Structure 1
Amino acid sequence: MEKRNGLRVILFPLPLQGCINPMLQLANILHSRGFSITVIHTRFNAPKASSHPLFTFLQISDGLSESQINDAPTSNVMSLLAQINCSTESPFRDCLRKLLVESQESEKISCLIDDCGWLFTQSVSESLNLPRLVLCTFKATFLNAYPILPLLRTKYLHVSASEAEDPVLEFPPLQKRDISRIFGKEGEKLDPVLRIVVETTIRSSGLIFMSCEELEKDSLTLAKEIYKVPIFAIGPFHSYFSASSSSLFKQDETCIPWLDNQEDKSVIYVSLGSVVNITETEFLDIACGLSNSKHPFLWVVRPGLVLGAKWIEPLSEGIMRSLEEKGKIVKWAPQQEVLAHRAIGGFLTHNGWNSTLESICEGVPMICLPGGLDQMLNSRFVSDIWRVGIHSEGRIEKNEIEKAVKMLMVESEGEKIRERLKFLKDEVARSVKHGD
């Protein structure tokens, strides 16, 4: 058992799968360095305390009704988060104040670490004289753009077809057509959120990124200039504890023995994450594209992924028969284990930062189907800067899916991508090793 250092860290993750995983991975890293861990969390998307018996978990009220918590569609997550941000400040303050009083008789609380998506925690920590460190669960490059994103949204609100592929000089390597997809339907609603995040981060005691200089050296330097706080880029968190996933969904473990029966690097893994939604037409196009590619595939279809459907009901019997010949469909998969499997040869992904990092660390080339927000930036880096994947350019069409799978899995361009990715993988691995 690791020796304790007499200090406790309070962690407060944003209640999204892509935010909870990094926070608890960071908790594992800190615990291995001797810190005791307390995790404050909401009822909505509560992490599984039983998976982390060495940590203390404290649940606070989030202002949501039972029906909102139990039946919340993933298409409504952003509005739920906005509601939670408005109703959680008082319960959080009371919980934190109580912990500080109790700590006077036991371990000293060294700091609060919370997600940059919480808009009230800086004020609370200041009122209680507790240092607050901000965890950014996406690329530093994207956080650096927060001060100018509202201006870019207005400037590139209407882009002509002839301008669509022009570079955004203020925010490389994005193209002008990417800006509207970053914001999606939220538009002006995100502007005040971005402003508050910038203001509160500047007032914090430091920024933690799950990134490294090998991936974004210039951006990390710029982040220090913009936010004027210490920067801690400690690499992909999951690399320290490879089995430290904290899935909110039940993982279908049957996909591992299925992969065991496939040839090396023959399977395309398909997963669009825990929040992205697609239309029924896009869903059917992915299905037909995978079937027509004639390559084995493991496809994660999260319940609620397809707008207007509970699961895979839009698939006809004929399509299902063709899919079953080559592939396997599951509701959720142990992604880190899947990407590390010898049978996986490619990853069709939404390019969330967690998924992008995991794919790089396992040397799995990507087909990029970004949904919005930072996924647009991640996918541009994958395809245009690191050149370790193929960009769909927003086209979820069966012919494009089939073409991309074949290019990645069997054509010479796929081999070139793998060679570049092997180099990038080794660079990132060295950064984590140096950080031990």
Structure 2
Amino acid sequence: MPFGNLNRDRNGYIILPNSKLEDPITELAPLKVKDLPVINTIDPEKLYQLVTIMVNSANNCAGLIFNTFEDLEQSTLDKLRYKFLVPIFPIRPFHKFCPPSSSSLIAHHETCISWLDRQEPGSVIYVSFGSIAAIEQPEYEEIAWGLRNSGRPFLWVIRPSSVDGVDGLNPGLEERGCIVKWAPQVEVLSHPSVGAFWTHCGWNSTLESISEGVPMICMPCFTDQKVNSRFVCDVWRVGVELESSNGLERGKIQRAIRRLFDEKDGEEIRDRMLHLKEKASLCLKQGGSTFQSIGGLSDHILSLESLTFSARESTV
């Protein structure tokens, strides 16, 4: 790999020209260059060696557990089974097996559920960007104006200290929506009044949205989120992309909301999402792919324990 010939910034990090960011990656369709997770390093050769070791080690393990389900990523799982000659167990959406935990990084605001109870079915935009991503004040203002101008009711989670200068901005904003510090996400997504999820596309949030059949407005920030967003919008086609690389604009926000709620394209997105929700539900039932995978994983672990016990006995 010609790493040494690439342009670098003053810290030694590789710089990719903007003209290349939209280029497709043939080996990783449908991803574009801009979708790849960025790992800043001044020694990409060592990083490449580390990743190679990790991939090679996977073939020497007892099995691989994947945080997905068969009908969602079957072609990818088939490729992985061909590549890695070890058992593979996709076990999501396992959160449906048990009730939501009462614990959280921040105490849940149950008042938002009573607010949702008063809204029309499928009318609310749920806005949450997870527990890590931060919002700059100019972005907050554009989000606030975009939501306000959309005319739609919204439930917006704003974590403490995630935005500077929230107090006093957009007076009257809460008259059109409900703003909380945190919310019980699975309960919110399963509520009949929620019609869209504006998300950073973290993988857990993505799977929860699919499991509850809620279309997404995708605004990824970092790590795997851009890859997840590309699959949501271009492969499964159950969401719309909100391009924010050049800064958020209230007009773009309004157009994304209008597309999802008011246009024919939005109806088709909802139909596809409901179909995907049904697949997620079926995989958990007896005979379903995840049901069988979890059973197979349990049997596999027990067989490994049996082999280990037998090996110890033979050495006594």
TM-score scaled by structure 2?
Answer: 0.79
Aligned to 1:432: 284
- Paired amino acid for 2:263: E
Out of 77, 95, 99, which is 1:238 matched to?
95
Deviation at 1:178, TM superposition (A): 2.1
Aligned CA distance change for structure 1 residues 413 and 225 (closer, same or farther; 3 Å): same
SS in 2 for 1:269: strand
Deviation at 1:272, TM superposition (A): 0.6
Question: When you count strand as a share of all residues, which structure comes out higher?
Answer: 1
- Measured against aligned partners, the alpha-carbon deviations of 1:190-225 in whole angstroms (never above 9, x if no partner) come to 937645543543432211112112111121122234
Aligned to 1:183: 38
Aligned CA distance change for structure 1 residues 221 and 267 (closer, same or farther; 3 Å): same
TM-score scaled by structure 1?
Answer: 0.58
Aligned pair 1:247/2:97, yes or no?
no
SS in 1 for 2:107: coil
In structure 1, the gaps of 5 or more residues are 1-147
Aligned to 2:28: 171
Aligned to 1:314: 166
Runs of 4 or more, structure 1, over 6 Å off, are: none
Q: State whether residues 184 and 372 of structure 1, in contact with CA within 8 Å, keep that contact through their aligned partners in structure 2.
A: no
Percent identical across equivalent pairs?
46
SS in 2 for 1:183: coil
- Paired amino acid for 2:179: I
Aligned to 1:341: 191
In structure 2, the gaps of 5 or more residues are 9-13, 292-316
Aligned pair 1:414/2:266, yes or no?
yes
- Paired amino acid for 1:409: F
How far apart are the structure 2 equivalents of 1:315 and 1:186?
Answer: 38
Aligned to 1:291: 148
- The structure whose RCO (Cα within 8 Å, separation 6+) is larger is 2
Aligned CA distance change for structure 1 residues 158 and 206 (closer, same or farther; 3 Å): same
| Total equivalences in the alignment | 277
Q: State whether residues 284 and 315 of structure 1, in contact with CA within 8 Å, keep that contact through their aligned partners in structure 2.
A: no
Aligned CA distance change for structure 1 residues 358 and 193 (closer, same or farther; 3 Å): farther
Aligned to 2:298: none
Per mean C-alpha deviation after superposition, the further-off stretch among 335-344 and 294-303 is 294-303
SS in 1 for 2:197: strand
How far apart are the structure 1 equivalents of 2:224 and 2:65?
Answer: 17
- Paired amino acid for 1:345: G
Within a 5 Å distance, the mapping from 1:116-135 to structure 2 comes to: none
Within a 5 Å distance, the mapping from 1:7-406 to structure 2 comes to: 158-179=15-36, 182-183=37-38, 191=47, 194-195=51-52, 197-244=54-101, 246-306=103-163, 309=164, 313-317=165-169, 319=170, 321-395=171-245, 396-406=248-258
Deviation at 1:163, TM superposition (A): 3.7
- RMSD of the TM alignment (CA)? 2.7
How far apart are the structure 1 equivalents of 2:74 and 2:141?
Answer: 40
Per mean C-alpha deviation after superposition, the further-off stretch among 349-358 and 411-420 is 411-420
Aligned CA distance change for structure 1 residues 415 and 333 (closer, same or farther; 3 Å): same
Q: State whether residues 159 and 177 of structure 1, in contact with CA within 8 Å, keep that contact through their aligned partners in structure 2.
A: no
Q: State whether residues 242 and 336 of structure 1, in contact with CA within 8 Å, keep that contact through their aligned partners in structure 2.
A: no
SS in 2 for 1:329: strand
- Measured against aligned partners, the alpha-carbon deviations of 1:235-272 in whole angstroms (never above 9, x if no partner) come to 31112224247523211111000100111111000001
How far apart are the structure 2 equivalents of 1:188 and 1:374?
Answer: 21
How far apart are the structure 2 equivalents of 1:185 and 1:382?
Answer: 26
Deviation at 1:394, TM superposition (A): 2.9
Deviation at 1:418, TM superposition (A): 0.3
SS in 2 for 1:371: coil
Q: State whether residues 259 and 343 of structure 1, in contact with CA within 8 Å, keep that contact through their aligned partners in structure 2.
A: yes
